[in-house]
Amino acid sequence: MQELMPNLMRRLPEFWKACGDTLLMEAWAGAIVFVFGLVFGIILTVTKPGGIMQNRPVYQVLDKIINLFRSIPFIILLTALMPLSRAIMGTAIYVRGVIVPLVFGATPFFSRQVESALAQTDKGLIEAALSMGSSPFEVIFRVYLRESLAPIIRAVTITIISLLGLTAMAGAVGAGGLGDFAIRYGHDRNMQDITWVVVIVLVIGVSIVQWLGEDFARRNTH
Amino acid sequence: MIELEHIVKNFTGGIHAVNDVSLTINDGDIYGIIGFSGAGKSTLVRCINLLERPDSGHVRIDGVEMTELKPKELYRARTKIGMIFQQFNLMPSRTVMQNVAYPLRSMTAEQKRAKVRELLALVDIPDKENAYPSELSGGQKQRVAIARALANDPTILLCDEATSALDPQTTGAILQLLKDLNRKLGLTIVVITHEMEVVKNICLKAAVMDAGRIIETGDVFTIFSQPQHQVTRNFVRTTSNLSKIETLIRDDSPMVRLKKGEVMARLVYIHADVSEPLISYASRAFDIEINIILADVEVVAGVMVGGTVVIFNGERDRINQAIEYYLSKNINVEVIRDAGTDA
């Protein structure tokens, strides 16, 4: 081990901390993104023309805002949102400081994913539920969310993985985590063993998330 | 009673989906609404439970004006109007039990189970409660859908092309089930279809729709035997063998080539007492030959309907006398081809 990856072995505590920071960013940002994205995705779906709570102004505004934030490169979002971060979280650095830009970066993406997952729901099911006296809210919870469980799980999987990419970038502006670790040592000081180990850890992480998601989605498909 | 008054529904782009339709459907009726696709019948039936809100007009069910109900009252009212669909619309992530239990409210799990079992027995698939819809055949799916639509003991059942995705045999079985439910539960059934067979099979009354309007209403027997409108005639022909004569004529089949003096005619029974030997009697009484090319007699709404295509051969006077005789017997005679006489 010592010979194979000398640089890493000398910085093991720092490596574990980087792993922990990445997980922390994923967990916090992921949980918040999940809630907001789900809500926005549902609002987009039901207020869209022909939706069960059709509402043109709400749909148009939300649609445009999501497009706006999806268009801003994440690295710009990171610095642009620093004042907001300081206002909400009290700091613009470390894990705490990067949660706000991570949420702004990933929520629009996940909202669209949820929207397209819900769009796969057969229109006939909605119609049948309404004909049985379901209110729009019942349709959301008992038909849309329940019947789209598998595609929503797939959307969550994809979002967790793309969020992982964002956390690596966040590392570059002082958030810490595996991305930061790989850039500072692997890239800047050309310690190739560190680059490789980080890549392997990320590949394993992505694979586990992907596999869990697929398995869960499959078990909810009949 | 379902009363529709001057219903108008337009879709964006100024298309008249339903254009000033008024219709009354009595309790316990099986009422057919027939039309080609795009005629507006699906939109019209959705105006009954307000899945489509009419732009103007009144929808009254048992005297209650549906268009004025508050949202909550409307949801409640809809539980008393069951609806089934061409594509069944069962929830794929739920078992048969869960699907049928979907509309049940304010019941314990135990009560729900009991109610679902009762409904599944009613539609004759008691052994499928734990199956998923993907494991069922089309006919079984529609039975589950019917059970689900009946869960809250509605008084009305709307059927939107409910048998159009099924094979003829299964269609027959589902129609029989609907007929039984109508009798057993006193259910008012509204049947939307583009298949004349379906209307002929179970409806007593029907309306024919074309381009957003109702062009003909009445009891099914009358619509069948005396269609007033060209669209209706086309529908009636789709179910009758007699329409084959047009194909034979177009193809100039040897069967329909006439010799001098011959007359080809379509005889259609209207108020038919087909028990009389009409052909052989006329043949003997007027001393002419009557050759039957095609015949089609069937039972519509419990009454015989049908006719024959024949070729008369004999002296012209006598042929005319035979035609007079048929007309006096309430048989509609339509001369299709006349080869003329030498004289």
Q: What is the CATH number for B292?
A: 3.30.70.260
Measured between alpha carbons, how far is B59 from B62 in angstroms, rounded to an integer? Answer: 10
Q: To which H or E segment does residue A21 belong?
A: helix A12-47
Q: Which residues of A touch B146 (CB under 8 A)?
A: none
In a domain, B255, yes or no: yes
**Does B157 touch chain A if contact means CB atoms closer than 8 Å?**
no
Residues B175 and B307 reside in one and the same domain: no
pLDDT at B14: 65
With bands split at pLDDT 50, 70 and 90, how would you rate the model's confidence at A87? Answer: confident
Does the model's pTM come out above 0.90?
no
Portion of chain A with pLDDT greater than 90, in percent: 57
The alpha carbon of residue B103 and the mean position of all alpha carbons in its chain are separated, in whole angstroms, by 28
Mutate to test the interface with A, among B48, B93, B146 (most CBs of A within 10 A): B93
Q: Determine how β-strand B2-11 pairs with β-strand B205-210.
A: unpaired
- For the four alpha carbons of B242, B247, B250 and B255, in that order, the dihedral sign comes to negative
With bands split at pLDDT 50, 70 and 90, how would you rate the model's confidence at A120? Answer: very high
Pair B34, B235: CB distance under 8 Å: yes
Comparing alpha-carbon positions, the chain A residue that sits nearest to B145 is A128
ipTM of model: 0.83
Residue with tokens 């702004």: A104
Pair B174, B142: CB distance under 8 Å: yes
Residues B221 and B245 reside in one and the same domain: no
Residue-wise burial string across B12-25, b where 16 or more C-beta atoms lie within 10 A, e elsewhere: eeeebbbbebebeb
> Would you list the DSSP string of B123-180?
TT-TT-TT--GGGS-HHHHHHHHHHHHTTT--SEEEEESTTTTS-HHHHHHHHHHHHH
Residues B160 and B301 reside in one and the same domain: no
Q: Decide if pLDDT at B27 tops 60.
A: yes
Q: Decide if pLDDT at B343 tops 60.
A: no
**Does B19 touch chain A if contact means CB atoms closer than 8 Å?**
no
For the CA atoms of chain B, what is the radius of gyration?
Answer: 25
A 67-86 residues with CB below 8 A of B? Answer: none
Measured between alpha carbons, how far is B79 from B8 in angstroms, rounded to an integer? Answer: 24
Q: Which residues of B touch A51 (CB under 8 A)?
A: none
Q: Which residues contact B242 (CB under 8 A, 6 or more apart)?
A: B266, B268, B294, B296, B306, B307, B308, B309
Amino acid letter, residue B167: D
Residues B262 and B200 reside in one and the same domain: no
B 242-271 residues with CB below 8 A of A? Answer: none
Residues B48 and B152 reside in one and the same domain: yes
| CB-nearest partner of A132 from B93, B102, B134 | B102
Highest-confidence segment of A168-172, B94-98, B332-336: B94-98
Pair A154, A213: CB distance under 8 Å: yes
Q: Decide if pLDDT at B271 tops 70.
A: no
Measured between alpha carbons, how far is A60 from A210 in angstroms, rounded to an integer? Answer: 33
Q: Which residues contact B114 (CB under 8 A, 6 or more apart)?
A: none
Measured between alpha carbons, how far is B331 from B334 in angstroms, rounded to an integer? Answer: 10
Q: Decide if pLDDT at A150 tops 90.
A: yes
Pair A21, A98: CB distance under 8 Å: no
Residues B271 and B128 reside in one and the same domain: no
SS3 state at B206: strand
pLDDT at A78: 87
Pair B78, B49: CB distance under 8 Å: yes
Q: What is the CATH number for B60?
A: 3.40.50.300
Comparing alpha-carbon positions, the chain B residue that sits nearest to A146 is B93
| CB-nearest partner of A131 from B49, B71, B132 | B49
In a domain, B293, yes or no: yes
Architecture of domain A21-177 in this structure: Orthogonal Bundle (1.10)
Interface touch B103/A132, C-beta < 8 Å? yes
Q: Give the angle subtended at the CA of A56 by the CAs of A66 and A77, to the nearest 5°.
A: 10
* Structure tokens that stand for B81 in this block: 């109007």
Q: Which of B196, B226, B256 is the last residue of a domain?
A: B226
Q: Which of B226, B255, B287 is the last residue of a domain?
A: B226
Q: SS3 breakdown of chain A: % helix, strand, coil, rounded to 5?
A: 85, 0, 15
Half-sphere exposure of residue B90, counting CA atoms within 13 Å on the CB side?
A: 30
Q: Which residues of A touch B93 (CB under 8 A)?
A: 146-147, 149, 220-222
In a domain, B165, yes or no: yes
Pair B39, B211: CB distance under 8 Å: yes
**Residue B53 phi, psi dihedral angles, 5° rounding:** -90, 120
CA distance A90 to chain B (A): 45
Pair B196, B238: CB distance under 8 Å: yes
Sheet with B2-11: strands ordered across:
B15-25, B2-11, B56-61, B64-65
Residue B153 is part of which domain span? 2-226
Residues B262 and B322 reside in one and the same domain: yes
Q: Which residues of B touch A221 (CB under 8 A)?
A: 93
In a domain, B111, yes or no: yes
Q: Which residues of A touch B90 (CB under 8 A)?
A: 128
Identify the bridge partners of residue B189 per DSSP, sorted by sequence position: B30, B157
Among B282, B268, B269, B273, which residue's Cα sits nearest to residue B334? B268
Q: Decide if pLDDT at B107 tops 60.
A: yes
With bands split at pLDDT 50, 70 and 90, how would you rate the model's confidence at B34? Answer: very high
CA distance B57 to chain A (A): 20
Q: Where are the domains of chain A?
A: 21-177
Sheet with B289-300: strands ordered across:
B289-300, B303-313, B262-269, B331-338
Residues B199 and B252 reside in one and the same domain: no
CA distance B173 to chain A (A): 23
**Residue B211 phi, psi dihedral angles, 5° rounding:** 50, 45
Exposed / middle / buried, residue B291 (Cβ in 10 Å: 0-12, 13-18, 19+): middle
Pair B163, B184: CB distance under 8 Å: no
* Total domains in the fold of chain B: 2
**Does A146 touch chain B if contact means CB atoms closer than 8 Å?**
yes
**Does B98 touch chain A if contact means CB atoms closer than 8 Å?**
no
Measured between alpha carbons, how far is B7 from A216 in angstroms, rounded to an integer? Answer: 48
| CB-nearest partner of A131 from B51, B72, B94 | B51
Distance set, CA A81 to CA A78, B94, B236 (Å): 6, 44, 71
Q: Determine how β-strand B262-269 pairs with β-strand B289-300.
A: unpaired
Q: Which stretch of A155-164, B89-98, B234-243 has the lowest confidence by average pLDDT?
A: B234-243
Residues B95 and B176 reside in one and the same domain: yes
Q: Which residues contact B8 (CB under 8 A, 6 or more apart)?
A: B16, B18, B19, B20, B21, B54, B55, B56, B57
For chain B, give the mean pLDDT. 89
What integer is the mean pLDDT of A108-129?
96
| CB-nearest partner of B89 from A127, A133, A220 | A127
Mutate to test the interface with A, among B91, B98, B100 (most CBs of A within 10 A): B91
Residues B101 and B210 reside in one and the same domain: yes
Q: Decide if pLDDT at B47 tops 90.
A: yes
Residues B62 and B134 reside in one and the same domain: yes
CA distance A125 to chain B (A): 5
Residues B319 and B201 reside in one and the same domain: no
> Would you list the DSSP string of B238-281?
HT-GGGHHHHHHHTT-GGGPPPTTEEEEEEEESS--TTS-HHHH
What integer is the mean pLDDT of A20-44?
94
* Structure tokens that stand for A204 in this block: 């394993």
Each residue's pLDDT tens digit, B114-144: 999 999 999 999 999 999 999 999 999 999 9
